[in-house]
């Protein structure tokens, strides 16, 4: 597969996803914060729906070998997962958002500079 094909496929998925995330402020951190502080579950349900859809689509792609998608099963290390989750949680708090929020904000700045 050529580099151009990979970039075009990435844009085909990334642009609509970025638009939706920017308009809805969809972020793992804000979803959990909304549940804990305001007892609103709309964002959390949206994230869970997105994860469910992704799991189903990935399962179909792997099962039927569409697009050359393969899943490599790696060993499951409990300690690494616990430490990694803790570090990720600290980073979310320190950055005041998760990577989706940071990337969405960066994309908005880039577009603002390009459209000037």
**pLDDT one-digit tens code per residue, 25-56:** 777 777 777 888 888 898 889 888 888 998 88
- The rounded distance, in Å, linking the Cα atoms of 106 and 28 is 17
65: DSSP letter: T
Token digits of residue 96: 């005041």
Model pTM? 0.56
Number of domains in the chain: 1
Which parts of the chain fold into alpha helices (H)?
A: 3-24, 28-33, 42-64, 78-95, 99-114
The range of the structural domain enclosing residue 30 comes to 3-114
Taking the chain, what is the end-to-end CA distance rounded to the nearest angstrom? 35
How many CB atoms neighbour CB 31 within 10 A?
21
């Amino acid at each position: 597969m050529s580099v151009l094909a990979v970039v075009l496929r990435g844009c085909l998925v990334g642009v609509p996803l970025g638009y939706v995330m920017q308009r809805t402020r969809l972020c793992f951190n804000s979803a959990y914060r909304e549940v804990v502080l305001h007892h609103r579950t709309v964002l959390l349900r949206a994230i869970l729906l997105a994860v469910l859809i992704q799991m189903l689509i990935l399962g179909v792609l792997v099962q039927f070998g569409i697009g050359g998608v393969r899943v490599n099963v790696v060993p499951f290390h409990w300690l690494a997962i616990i430490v990694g989750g803790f570090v990720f949680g600290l980073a979310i708090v320190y950055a005041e958002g998760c990577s989706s929020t940071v990337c969405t904000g960066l994309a908005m700045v880039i577009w603002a500079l390009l459209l000037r």
